[in-house]
Each structure stands twice: as structure tokens, then as C-alpha cells.
């Protein structure tokens, strides 16, 4: 009996992950309509800091109703390296018509924190919520998890 070589179905088009990265271009992409959700976060001890969470850039669009804003702080537990509890503030901005993505993202993050895991499945949900294409998501997951998306 011969085996069919199906390795080709695991190949995806080459994606330049550096070029696909939305970091630093979130507002521009959101205003162009190609990014539905932007998420910024850091340890609360580092905030406020416009370099980390650019509230000022987004403020006029939130005020006009074009974008919506939400913030939540999650405890990431005790970190022995830092010698303290880690509390991370997340600030999320969504296009008004895409506001449903905010509670979806928060739920996804809660599940990851509750289980202590960030499996590929949650990563794929996050990528989808943030507006990455399927090819970009496949390339990212292949790099991060060694997966072979079909």
C-alpha cells in the first residue's frame, strides 16, 4: 500500500511577519478600516506612559464615537523575579461597529490566566480578534508553536 505525500497541504504562503506586525501602526490601520481592535498592556507600575499605551493618539476618536475604549487590570500572580504580585493593565480600543471584540478579548485573556496556559487555540482567537489574516496567523503560530496549519 502506498502512502500519499500530503506535506504540501501544510505549507502556507510566505508571510513577512515583521511587515505584517501591527505594532506602532494600530491607529492608522484602525482608521483605514483594516484593524478592528488594538490592545496595549503593561505592568501598572510602568504606567501611565504614552510610549506604551498611546491614549492621547486615540482620545479624539474615542470622543467622536468612532472608536470605543475599555480598560481592565489582571493579576498575573506573584513573580519571584520581581518579588511582588504582577498587575497588568490592558487598554483596548475598537472600532465602534467592532466593539463586541472587547469582551471577547477579555474573556479569552481570562481563560488563559485561569488555566495558566496560552495554547495555540487562544493565540489564534487573539490574532483573529486583532484583525490579522489567516495567512499571517498561520505563519505566526508556525513560528511560535511549530504548528502546521491546514
pLDDT band at 3 (very low <50, low <70, confident <90, very high): very low
Q: H helices within the chain, ranges in order?
A: 17-20, 26-32, 55-63, 101-115, 120-130, 134-145
Q: How many domains does the chain have?
A: 1
In a domain, 12, yes or no: no
In a domain, 53, yes or no: yes
Angstrom distance (rounded) from CA 37 to CA 27: 9
- Non-local (6+) Cβ contacts of 120 within 8 A are 141, 144, 145, 147
pTM, two decimals, is: 0.81
In a domain, 150, yes or no: no
The DSSP call for residue 72 is: E
Residue 26, classed as helix, strand or coil, is: helix
In a domain, 14, yes or no: no
Asked whether residue 11 carries a pLDDT value surpassing 60, the answer given is: no
Taking the alpha carbons at both ends of the chain, their separation in whole angstroms is 25
What is the per-residue pLDDT across 39-74, written as a single tens digit (0 to 9) for each? Answer: 999 999 888 898 889 999 999 999 999 999 999 999
What is the per-residue pLDDT across 78-99, written as a single tens digit (0 to 9) for each? Answer: 989 989 999 999 999 999 999 9
List the domain range (segments joined by +) for residue 131: 20-145
Inter-residue contact 37 to 6 (CB < 8 Å) = no
In a domain, 111, yes or no: yes
Angstrom distance (rounded) from CA 137 to CA 57: 27
Amino acid at each position: 500500500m502506498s502512502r500519499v505525500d500530503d506535506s504540501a497541504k501544510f505549507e502556507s504562503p510566505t508571510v513577512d511577519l515583521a511587515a505584517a506586525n501591527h505594532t506602532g501602526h494600530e491607529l492608522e490601520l484602525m482608521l483605514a478600516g483594516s484593524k478592528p481592535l488594538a490592545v496595549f498592556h503593561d505592568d501598572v507600575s510602568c504606567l501611565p506612559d504614552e510610549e506604551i499605551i498611546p491614549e492621547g493618539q486615540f482620545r479624539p476618536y474615542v470622543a467622536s464615537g468612532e472608536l470605543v475604549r475599555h480598560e481592565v487590570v489582571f493579576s498575573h500572580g506573584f513573580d519571584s523575579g520581581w518579588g511582588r504580585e504582577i498587575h497588568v493593565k490592558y487598554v483596548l480600543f475598537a472600532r465602534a461597529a467592532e466593539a463586541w471584540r472587547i469582551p471577547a478579548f477579555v474573556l479569552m485573556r481570562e481563560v488563559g490566566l485561569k488555566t495558566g496556559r496560552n495554547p495555540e487555540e487562544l493565540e489564534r482567537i487573539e490574532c483573529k480578534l486583532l484583525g490579522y489574516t489567516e495567512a499571517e496567523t498561520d505563519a505566526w503560530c508556525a513560528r511560535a508553536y511549530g504548528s502546521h496549519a491546514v
